[in-house]
Amino acid sequence: MVKCSSIIHENKKPAQLLPESKFAAITKLSLAILSLFLGIAACILIALSGLLPNTLLIIALSLISIIVLSTGISLLIGTQCSKSVQKDEQKPKSIFPKETPSLDPWLLNPLKNKIQSSETLLLDPTSINLKNELFFPSFEEWKKIFLKDPDFLIKSALANWKILEQDEQYILSHIHMDPRIFVTSEPLQKTYQKLQEKHVNNLGIASQVSLTDLQNKTQYENNLIETTTNEITYYFPVVHNPDILRSEWDPISNQLYLIFKKFFIHYHNLFSTALERNQILLIDSLNTGSSNPIARQMELLAFLCVFEQLDYNEDEYTIEPRDYFNRFVYKNSQTAPQIQSFGLLHGYEEMSYASNNIRNVLTHSIVLCSPILYQLITEFDTTKIHADDFDCLI
């Protein structure tokens, strides 16, 4: 049973009053002093109007007028400055850093060498554009499902998986998916060294690379770079935070939508290619470097959701946002008529009514380096099986 824990969303927070600026405080104080000064001056002039010559009265009135005019101009300037400060304070601040996390040097340097020697492959941009149109085309429909309570949605999604706990990792298996997912909190390089000690064969390694690391070359933007070294296939989804921060005035919810959609497509591109080529996939989870909890939840949801879509040929059936909710929460995986889901099972060609022949899955293990998902599973309120006799990959 999934336990729904309430979290405070940014779109649910009541509007907070802005703290009074220094200019506003000075303005109020100046108005009080000016009123007091004018009151005293008026009383004095009335009392002395019959005693002072007209010349002195005119001079006194002129001085008072100059003081009033100067004070008024100062107050006007102060008020405008105060409005400017308040406007800056009200301006929405992005929850994503402008700098995209860079690829570790142990992978970046060989990648640059491969690029220089033209030993890399790029995904067809037409395919990327097509997926961008197919997957989550409506921001409003996505927002209704994914921003209502992302914490509950993640836990509901995890409840669809059988979770095995062993040593310092969690093993996730799904009834509709042959590959198992090994979740670890250890960094990619350390996990890779452990796999090397086990002498695994047909390994694929995936880690995001920043477009900045590639000198912002437009041909790599939002693409998937593939290269091979020493019988290991490397996959590099190209992530670019400024692509998300198109405008500083974009609503936060729109930025969350963009990061979810882009990461979903990155994962879909990666798995659509690698599941047919590598027996073991070692993946460093995609991330923007944001410390915002909701942003990190969107990064996780993109990963968890992509396996639902990978079960189908996107040309035949594209899952809608409300379908993810039905699958995760109500455990209702009914599909469109005459569409069967065998996209993530081995030996699909042997199934009698498998009309969804989209990939020949070769992968049996996906090793995901994700401290965030590891911690979330650790705190997940469900029964986890201790797999003492379960074969551990790493």
Render each residue's pLDDT in the chain as its tens digit; 394 residues. Answer: 333 333 333 333 333 333 445 555 665 666 666 666 665 665 665 555 555 566 665 666 666 666 666 666 666 666 666 555 555 444 556 678 888 999 999 999 999 999 988 899 999 888 889 999 999 999 999 999 999 999 999 999 999 999 999 888 999 999 888 899 999 999 999 999 999 999 899 999 999 999 999 998 888 999 999 999 999 999 999 999 887 776 555 688 999 999 999 999 999 999 999 999 999 999 999 999 999 999 999 999 999 999 999 988 777 789 999 999 999 998 876 555 556 555 676 655 444 344 455 678 899 999 999 999 999 999 885 555 444 444 556 6
Whether residue 30 contacts residue 75, with contact meaning beta carbons closer than 8 Å, is answered with yes
Burial 273-309 (b: 16+ CB within 10 A, else e): bbbebbebbbbbbbbbebebebbbbbbbbbbbbbbbb
Output the CA torsion sign for 236, 150, 336, 175: positive
Q: Give the Cβ contact number of residue 87 at 10 Å.
A: 9
The token pair at 96 is 């994503």
362: left (phi over 0), alpha (psi -120 to 50) or beta: alpha
Q: Give the Cβ contact number of residue 157 at 10 Å.
A: 21
Whether residue 183 contacts residue 213, with contact meaning beta carbons closer than 8 Å, is answered with no
Burial 213-243 (b: 16+ CB within 10 A, else e): bbeeeeebebbbbbbeeeebbbbbbbbbbee
Q: How far apart are CA 182 and CA 198, in angstroms?
A: 15
pTM over 0.85: no
For the chain, how big is the Rg over CA atoms in Å? 31
